[in-house]
Structure 1
Amino acid sequence: MLDIAKLARQMPEIGQQMQKDAQASVKRLEMAQQLFFQANEHQDNLIKAQELWCDRLIFSPGTPVESLDTAIDIPEAPPSHSVFSSDGSQIAPSHHEIIYCYLINIGRIMLHYGQNLHPLLDSIPEIYYKTEDLYGSRKWGIRTEEWMGYQRTLKEIQILTEMACTWVNPPGAHFNVPNLAMTDGSLAFWFLDTLPTEAREEILNPVIESWEQLRESKIPIVGYISASRSTEAISFLRLMACPYDVPNCNNYCSLDNEKNPCQKVEPLRDSSLWQKILQPRQRSAIFRSNSRILDFYPESQKTHFCYLHGGAEVARIEFPQWIAEDSELLNQALSITLTQIDKGFGYPVALAEAHNLAVVKGGDRTQFFSLIEDQMLRYGVRNVGVSYKEARKRGSIA
């Protein structure tokens, strides 16, 4: 039980620290703006330096593919359009439950505007209980709980692609309206970078295949990141702040240092900088991400990003290269994204509803294990029950 009285005595110190942090943040933001305008004047030289010394850098800056000071007004979305989205949730495996298994539940949503069509709002659950599902990842040294998360990511993309492509390309299709596939989070799956090759390919290859299906169907896809903590664009400014003739971090700097000379505005985030630069309903310059995992992506699917001012916040919007190179598709994607933000009062309504459809609540979990228990008893499995630890926790008198 949380002792609120004891907690309240700590609040004044937290308030004082937050005040100091806010004052320091204002100074960092002013410095970042100065670096931004300087970098805009020397952008070509900085990009050449980045390309030449990329293997010596101890940070990973994004590369602008447009002028840094780009700020483009996004047009209104057409009245008739469709939006597809998916999100996932899970019941994690536990040795304290009646059976060691896990469940992945994918919420999917299809919304049609200006077309007098019914939406699709449902969820698709799948249980993983076979030996290969539970222990197959152990050969790579990956825990079942970790592998479950990777499987969830894969299922989200596959179900989103199947839903969107089935709708856009049915036999005798007559639908010819702008559309958008949206996901919550990054399209650069950096968390796969450290996996063994075979394990990474088992997740990433089907994802790439799904994205290729979207490209062939001309369905743009974006990853929407709210409250982004990314510093890829800010990291590009570190090239401008470097005090040395060349950005050879291996010679001049060290990963062990808490703050190297070029880290003048850390820990400022990209979104904070673009909050000062962009006006509502504008996008920033497009950047190419240089995350290491993208080395395993085909060229057309390498992740690019920009920042979009939706009014309530500046969000990071990610999309593959084939969309970055098609201004019509990019404007289509961003205009529909802004419309979704408006309809969701600050956050895309399709993403919010997909999450709500996916989330597994406490009552759902109880029903799930009750169904399993019924089946075990029906087939003659005895001694069905949770561990003594779990039973004691559920029956606590505290």
Structure 2
Amino acid sequence: MLDLTKLARQMQGLSQHLSLEAAASRERLELAQRHLKKAYECQQGVVELQEKWRDRILFANATPIEPLNTCITIPVPPKVHTVVATDGSQIAPNHHEIAYCYLLNIGRVILHYGQNLHPLLDSLPEVFYRPEDLYVSRQWGIRTEEWMSYRRTASEATVLAELACGVQGEVPMLAMVDGSLIYWFLEQLPMDARDRILPPILDAWQQLRDAQIPLMGYLSASRNIEGMNFLRLLACPHPIPDCVSYCPNQLENVPCKVFESLRDTTLWSTQLQPGQRSPLWRSNAKILDLYADQKIYFCYVHVGTEIARIEVPAWVAENSAMFDQALGLMLAQVQKGYGYPVAIAEAHNQAVVRGGDKARFFGLLERQMIKAGIKNVGISYKEARKRGSIA
């Protein structure tokens, strides 16, 4: 039980700290705005410097593909269109439950507009209980709980491609996922583990590419700083941006980290009007070297309620007509969802496993185990005590 009386004593210090942070953030924002204006005049030179020294730069930074002062109004989407989305949830394995297994539940949504068709709103559950599913990740030092989330990411992409490619008709379409298309977690995985997660995702994306269905990742409240890190190249006091030689320890207070903790979205909130997008950027994340020709591009969009980060594969970004139409469909989804894409929100609602669902899942499992003749079926004493109190 939370003791609010004791907690209240700490709130004053927290509020003072947040006030100081807000003032410091305003100063960093003003400095970033000055560097952005400076970058307007020498953008090509900075890009060339970035490309020449990219192997010596130790922080993630993106490359602007369009002029940095680009602010483009997103076109109105066609009235007749279809939006497809998936999202996932899970029941994690627990040694204290009646059986050690885990469940993935992928929410599926197809929304048809202007076509007089019923939507699809359902979920696709899958239970994993075999030793090769539960313990295969141990050989790489990966906990089962972590491996489960990686498997879920791959399943979301696979189901999305199957869903979108199975829709009949020639109307404009958009396939959406919640979150980034840059799977940063893959960097820390051994090659054998990575080969079980990434190839199914790239295969699913290729299916969408062959069907000419644009894929989009929608990031709300993005914490990304790849764009701000491009401006760090202007703030570098050294003759060349050679971090390996001049600033090998990036944890120290290096000279160019004047924008530290300032997000891309904070800067673009001062540049964009509702319904506008920022310039297009190409991410230079190391993990994208494994994506072959499906590199990830992104831009920031003022959707009215926030600045959202929008990510698309290269084949979408390079097709200007497809990209513009996809942005229009995305913005319409945000408006229909009162600030967040309705298709992604509904996919989440279909996928989420609530407390009652979890109880019914284990209840069904218990009945099957008893039916199979397994005795002493039950949770551990620790779990039983945690679910109730004698106090």
TM-score using structure 2 length = 0.98
Q: Distance in 2 between matches of 1:354 and 1:257?
A: 39
Q: How does 1:176-215 map to 2 (within 5 A)?
A: 176-215=170-209
Give the SS at the match of 1:208.
Answer: helix
Distance 1:166 1:91, change over 3 A: same
Displacement of 1:395: 2.4
Q: Distance in 1 between matches of 2:58 and 2:286?
A: 13
Task: Give the equivalent residue in structure 2 for 1:133.
Answer: 133
Q: Distance in 1 between matches of 2:258 and 2:186?
A: 31
- Partner letter of residue 93 of structure 2? P
More deviation in 322-331 or 257-266? Answer: 257-266
Give the SS at the match of 2:259.
Answer: coil
- Determine whether 1:306 maps to 2:299: yes
Task: Give the equivalent residue in structure 2 for 1:280.
Answer: 274
Task: Give the equivalent residue in structure 1 for 2:320.
Answer: 327
**Deviation per residue, 1:270-304 (Å, 9 max, x gap):** 000000011110111111111111010111x1111
Task: Give the equivalent residue in structure 1 for 2:376.
Answer: 383
1:243 and 1:261 in contact (8 A); partners too: yes
Q: Distance in 1 between matches of 2:339 and 2:305?
A: 5
Give the SS at the match of 2:311.
Answer: strand
Displacement of 1:14: 1.6
Q: Distance in 1 between matches of 2:317 and 2:341?
A: 21
Q: Distance in 2 between matches of 1:203 and 1:348?
A: 26
Q: How does 1:60-75 map to 2 (within 5 A)?
A: 60-75=60-75
Tell me the percent identity.
57
**Deviation per residue, 1:40-77 (Å, 9 max, x gap):** 21111111111111111110110111111111110111
Q: Distance in 2 between matches of 1:113 and 1:256?
A: 50
Displacement of 1:396: 2.0
In the alignment of these two chains, the number of paired residues is: 391
- Partner letter of residue 343 of structure 2? A
1:254 and 1:260 in contact (8 A); partners too: no
More deviation in 196-205 or 213-222? Answer: 196-205
Q: Distance in 1 between matches of 2:22 and 2:323?
A: 35
Give the SS at the match of 1:42.
Answer: helix
Q: Distance in 2 between matches of 1:316 and 1:89?
A: 22
Q: Distance in 1 between matches of 2:182 and 2:16?
A: 38
TM-score using structure 1 length = 0.97
Q: How does 1:28-177 map to 2 (within 5 A)?
A: 28-168=28-168, 175-177=169-171
Displacement of 1:375: 0.6
Q: Distance in 2 between matches of 1:251 and 1:159?
A: 46
Displacement of 1:257: 4.1
Task: Give the equivalent residue in structure 1 for 2:225.
Answer: 231
Give the SS at the match of 1:384.
Answer: coil
RMSD of aligned alpha carbons = 1.0
Q: Distance in 1 between matches of 2:249 and 2:390?
A: 50
Q: Distance in 1 between matches of 2:249 and 2:70?
A: 32
Give the SS at the match of 1:276.
Answer: coil
Displacement of 1:256: 5.0
User: Where does structure 1 lack aligned partners over 5 or more consecutive residues?
Assistant: 169-174
- Partner letter of residue 182 of structure 1? M
- Partner letter of residue 323 of structure 2? L
> Which of 344, 349, 365 is 1:356 aligned to?
349
Give the SS at the match of 2:366.
Answer: helix
1:87 and 1:351 in contact (8 A); partners too: yes
- Partner letter of residue 266 of structure 1? E
Displacement of 1:202: 1.0
2:58 and 2:250 in contact (8 A); partners too: no
Structure 1 runs of 4+ off > 3 angstroms?
none
- Partner letter of residue 389 of structure 1? K
Give the SS at the match of 1:264.
Answer: helix
> Which of 289, 292, 301 is 2:283 aligned to?
289
